[in-house]
Amino acid sequence: MGSGTQSRLWSLGGCRGRKGGGLLTAVVFDRLVASLSSRDARAEVCGAAVAAVVTRCADPKVLFIHRVSHDGDPWSGHLAFPGGRIEPDDSSDRHAAERETLEEVGLDLSAADMVGRLDDIAGHTIPLRVSCHVYGIDALPELTPNEEVEDVFALPLSTLADGSRHFEAEFEIRGERRAYSVIDTGVVGKPLLWGLTYRFVTQLLHHSGMGHGA
């Protein structure tokens, strides 16, 4: 269960940033920024918002949370981006994503670079449309997950783009078994990444030029 007090963040793979002489540059991150800034995302009225936090480095890493398992939560125990439902006091979808990220992992995105917005996605099993806002930061600090979050960690885009990690797996939803596309992150003790988060990740990979099917 989430401690709500212990600061922690671990990551799979190193983050190599910009280096003198141009030997190492954040080419993938720059491609992501260019792609998102040159388009208009398909945005509609949403009921929830999430934040995709990406590091600026040669092999960008993306922040994920592992949600605590409990009854009544449709995303119980899932891997996800930080985020949640949009509240009446939220001034925008983006504000909701930033508020939820601060509440869930203690990361303040109010001064971070907002790179762009992915296309909104409606859930297959839950009638809820979700927006995803992409942020760029120089490095991920140690984070403090709240009681809703079991763990917080980061994965390189290159790991998520590895085609050998993509396959289909069956899940039982409301008594019916159905196959969904998933990613095996390779992280011991973590579930498969699937659902809305999988679909947002594939958008990130597409805009960074790393789509596993490319």
Sign of the Cα torsion 190, 196, 202, 207 reads negative
Taking residues 80-92, report their average pLDDT.
95
36, 207 Cβ separation under 8 angstroms: yes
Among 58, 32, 33, 30, which residue's Cα sits nearest to residue 208?
A: 32
Sign of the Cα torsion 138, 143, 148, 150 reads positive
CA 77 to chain centre: 15
Q: Which DSSP state fits 97?
A: H
Among 27, 25, 81, 14, which residue's Cα sits nearest to residue 209?
A: 27
For residue 206, is it left (φ>0), alpha (ψ between -120 and 50) or beta? alpha
Per the listing, tokens 């992992």 go with: 105
Segment 169-186, tens digit of pLDDT: 888 776 788 888 999 999
71, 64 Cβ separation under 8 angstroms: no
CA 106 to chain centre: 15
Identify the three-state secondary structure at position 204.
helix
Q: Which range (25-34, 83-92, 145-154) has the least confidence?
A: 25-34
Segment 122-160, tens digit of pLDDT: 877 677 899 999 999 999 999 999 999 999 999 999 999
Domains of the chain, with CATH numbers?
A: 10-207 (3.90.79.10)
